[in-house]
Structure 1
Amino acid sequence: MKDVVSLKKKLAAEADPETKAWFDNYLKGAIEYRGLKTPLVRKILTAHIRDQGLKKQPISEQVEFAKQLFKSKFAEDKFAGILFTQSHLMKQLTTKETLEFSQELFKRQLLFDWSTVDWYCVRVLGPLLKDSTMSMATSLGAWHKSQNLWQRRASMVPFRSVVDHPRYTKKIMALAKVLIKEDERFIQTAVGWVLSDLSKIEPKIVEEFFHNNLPQVHREVIDRHTKYLPCHKELKRLKRQVGQFSK
């Protein structure tokens, strides 16, 4: 699409070598960066949407515009796609359509690094979950069965947005119980991230989970994601004793 080509040229023109070097070092080559910080990407995208009259185009063309951004190898282009999805597509698509759109991105392997996936979870899937019904939570949680590592991570991370809603606690814990069996680091840390937030609200439930699943939990998760629990030091001590499955 001409609109996408034009936007990519604008992003490329503002790329900064020092910013690129910083991101490349931070992400360790997980995805290629042009060299733009988030506020600049948002500024360029906002102006492009206005100048091109994108909001006046049919929804099908807006969806295609977003998909073409996600097809790019550059993180900033994908982030522009996330921002466009969050600010424009979600307001026009139904919950089911947004979830199907998201599934397609994973199916086509257009989301393939932890940084972009987490941004997508925080800006699209989390808000979608927060504003939807329990059936949406069930559909999203079912992604844990996917063969795609990043889609499995995305089955858990969005639940950070609803840890303060008691009705989701049982579902979060059931999902955590399944996912923690995986030895994949990015699955383990997804569980840890959500439970870290939940531990501020339901410490006893989270504490019981870690005690019951300690052999399967990576040491990184215990060290980084149990800090809000009164038993943090005890869990670290017990994990050193257990030893197995530690990373």
Structure 2
Amino acid sequence: AAPRSASPAVQRLCDTLKAAGDTKTKAWFDGYMKGSITHYGVKMAGIRSALRAWWKDEDLRGLPITAQKALAIEFFDHPMFEEKMAGTLALAEQIGFADAPAADPSSDDASPEASGLTRHDLPALRAVLADGRLAEWSSVDWFCVKVLRHIVERDPLAAREVASWKAEDGTAATSADGGLWVRRAAAVSFVYAAKHGDASPPNFPGFLDMLEGVADALVQRTDERFMQTASGWLLREMWLPPAPRAEERG
């Protein structure tokens, strides 16, 4: 059944993705994900191509930016991987990102009406993880590296906010625990920035210490495999040469 919030425009792209599915591709992806999410059987290039055509055909650039963001986020209400990936790609590639104020990184005057995603969108993006609309590692990790990564890399305040998600409530060691995916995002969103250290803008003094705090908090959750793997991924990027922590180790 379609989500109760489904708009006709979003449903049209979902129908297009369903029609484009390939049975062999579906079988491979479903098997790889071991039933944690199901697929229509559309590869990434096909999702991206369908999204671009849909965005143009629906004339979505003519909508207010808040309406564009709402439509993109609506895809996460739908159950299939390709639908969720369409939401991630819409946010990252059709809407994009706005820079935080450069003169004073500690200020909080970036407008929620900015032309792209900013730290003001983090509550809505965090909710997608916390309420289980994204609740398996593949779509969560894509969301982190395609969307959250580019927000935290533009804005120290956003970086600190996402890093604080390491303490998200929720103790159940199951993939249905929304808190688990919020906590994983606290690490995975930084795997690209981690290798650049404190001195490489927009990173800041204390950046690597902040990330070590994230990794330490997650690794304490010994009953949660996805916390262990997120912590390990983040630490690897911080410590493997030529990462700054590797240079400190000498």
- Mark yes or no: TM-score above 0.5: yes
Paired residue total = 206
Residue identity in the other structure for 1:145: A
Residue identity in the other structure for 2:61: K
Structure 1 residues 201-243: Cα deviation after superposition (integer angstroms, max 9, x where no partner):
12376x7xxxxxxxxxxxxxxxxxxxxxx9xxxxxxxxxxxxx
Contact 2:239/2:246, CA 8 A, preserved across alignment? yes
Using the alignment, how far apart are the partners of 1:137 and 1:52 within structure 2? 34
Structure 1 residues 44-100: Cα deviation after superposition (integer angstroms, max 9, x where no partner):
000010111011112232122112211000000000000001123343245222212
Contact 1:122/1:158, CA 8 A, preserved across alignment? yes
Using the alignment, how far apart are the partners of 1:172 and 1:192 within structure 2? 12
> Runs (4+) of structure 1 moved beyond 6 Å?
none
Structure 1 residues 95-122: Cα deviation after superposition (integer angstroms, max 9, x where no partner):
2222122112123311100000000011
Spell out the pairing of 1:105-116 with structure 2 (5 A cutoff): 105-116=128-139
5+ residue gaps, structure 2: 1-6, 98-114, 171-178, 199-206
- Give SS of 2:69's match: helix
Residue identity in the other structure for 1:203: A
Using the alignment, how far apart are the partners of 2:148 and 2:73 within structure 1? 16
Aligned to 1:227: none
Q: Please, what is the CA RMSD of the aligned residues?
A: 1.7
Using the alignment, how far apart are the partners of 2:127 and 2:160 within structure 1? 18
* TM-score, with structure 1 as normaliser: 0.79
Spell out the pairing of 1:39-54 with structure 2 (5 A cutoff): 39-54=45-60
Mapped pair 1:127 → 2:150: yes
Residue identity in the other structure for 2:230: A
Using the alignment, how far apart are the partners of 1:140 and 1:83 within structure 2? 20
Percent sequence identity over matched residues?
A: 32
1:100–1:90 distance in 2 versus 1, CA, 3 Å: farther
User: Larger Rg: 1 or 2?
Assistant: 1
Greater per-residue helix proportion: 1
Contact 1:129/1:161, CA 8 A, preserved across alignment? no
